[in-house]
Amino acid sequence: GAVVSQHPSRVICKSGTSVKIECRSLDFQATTMFWYRQFPKKSLMLMATSNEGSKATYEQGVEKDKFLINHASLTLSTLTVTSAHPEDSSFYICSPQRTGITDTQYFGPGTRLTVL
């Protein structure tokens, strides 16, 4: 199976600070990365899609300047929440798409962000 890691698993930060979340595909290469956000007791909402070496494409309503996505390599993507506020508190999940395989997505274990 495909192994995906996210770091940190939990983070608590003060309002106004920035937080970086790393997502790694440990045993496969991922040309495409999806980032999702999940509110408590809610479904996953796609935030953005990034391809390695290219700028991310953001879904409608997602602020690209607030949620910075970097996909610099085929095994690592980062999501940086800039100037975080309490309303950004959520569960963030990455989903790398294995290069050459388009009918299955794998998911990271998620990062719980709490902004005080």
Partner 1 sequence: AQSVTQLDSQVPVFEEAPVELRCNYSSSVSVYLFWYVQYPNQGLQLLLKYLSGSTLVKGINGFEAEFNKSQTSFHLRKPSVHISDTAEYFCAVSDRSTDKLIFGTGTRLQVFP
Q: b or e along 30-61 (b: 16 or more beta carbons within 10 Å of the residue's beta carbon)?
A: bbbbbbbbeeeeeebeebbbbebeeebebeee
**Does the protein bind partner 1 through residue 6 (CB under 8 A)?**
yes
* Pair of tokens at residue 113: 């962000």
Among 11, 29, 112, 114, binds partner 1 (CB under 8 A): 112
DSSP 110: -
Query: Which residues within the stretch 20-49 sit at the binding site for partner 1 (CB under 8 A)?
Result: 32, 34, 41-46, 49
Q: Which is nearer to partner 1, 82 or 98 (CB)?
A: 98
* Pair of tokens at residue 38: 């999940």
Residues 6+ apart with CB under 8 A from 55: none
CB 13 within 8 A of CB 115: yes
Give the binding range for partner 1 (CB under 8 A) out of 14-22, 61-69, 79-87, 94-102. 94-102
Q: Which is nearer to partner 1, 5 or 16 (CB)?
A: 5
CB of 77 to partner 1, least distance (A): 15
Q: Given the rule CB under 8 A, which residues bind partner 1?
A: 4, 6, 32, 34, 41-46, 49, 93, 95, 97, 102-110, 112
